[in-house]
Amino acid sequence: MDYQEGHNDFNEAIDQKRQLALEQRIFEIKKQKRLNITVHVILTFALQFTLVVMTFAELATNCTYTQVIISQVSIFIMFARFICATILHLSCVDEISAGLEMMKYAVNHPYKFEHFSVAWMSGFLQCMSCLSVEIANIGVICGANDTISIVFNFIALAIIAEFDNYVFNSMKNESFRELCSKEFTSRVLIVCHTSSKKCSNEQLSTEVDENGNIRPLKIDFSSRVWQN
């Protein structure tokens, strides 16, 4: 009987050790994948920002572009510039809005992230990349004095704005890319807190904190911690 109990205890210890090893392996894989995605995000922004800075440097140092920008052009050139600037702006609106929503969700729901600052940074980099590309686009198309050059410059800057989408689509074998899908985010990233003035301080959310208390629905500046 003692032998049987000892044998069972030994098997349970082996199973617990295997389970612990499996959980450790899963944790390491998740950590590696998160690092991989973070590196892709930072690298994509670095490439976009580098090209934008080089574009601004060219506009500032090349006298040809400066002369075209300050010179008078025909109404047709002005209309072509207006069309290209408007189209690129409309294409960047959704990207900027998504980045702002990402930043707002991260600061309003920090307890849902292991490091909410990383989530906030992702939204911030997305907003900054789109804004910098759009400003560079305006400078480039204003530095072109014919319709073909305006269209070509517009296409080039529009491609730079789409770098993040190209990188995301290239990660076909990355299982974590499903975490960015609309089906997943609509079910998981549910807004439980708001900073809207229409919400009163007495209203409660459906979320419970670590002490078992229901979290407030409204988030204001005084309720945030220093790093948030």
What the block records as the tokens of 100 is 């702002």
What the block records as the tokens of 39 is 């590196």
Residue 152 covered by a domain: yes
pLDDT band at residue 210 using 50, 70 and 90 as cut-offs = low
pLDDT over 80 at 77, yes or no: yes
37-46 pLDDT, tens digit per residue, is 778 888 888 8
Residue in 142, 100, 147, 146 with CA at minimum distance from that of residue 119? 100
Residue 92 covered by a domain: yes
pTM above 0.75, yes or no: no
Residue 121 covered by a domain: yes
Least confident of 8-22, 43-57, 145-159: 8-22
Question: Could you tell me the residue range of the domain that residue 167 belongs to?
Answer: 2-173
* Percent over 70 (pLDDT), the chain: 71
Residue 186 covered by a domain: no
**Number of domains making up the chain:** 1
Residue 203 covered by a domain: no
Least confident of 75-79, 124-128, 182-186: 182-186
Residue 200 covered by a domain: no
118-171 pLDDT, tens digit per residue, is 888 888 888 888 888 888 888 888 888 888 888 888 888 888 888 888 887 777
The DSSP bridge partners found for residue 208 are: 214
What the block records as the tokens of 126 is 């997305």
pLDDT number for residue 163: 84
Residue 197 covered by a domain: no
Do residues 126 and 97 touch, judged by C-beta distance below 8 A? no
Residue 145 covered by a domain: yes
Q: For the chain, how are helix, strand and coil distributed in percent, rounded to 5?
A: 75, 5, 20
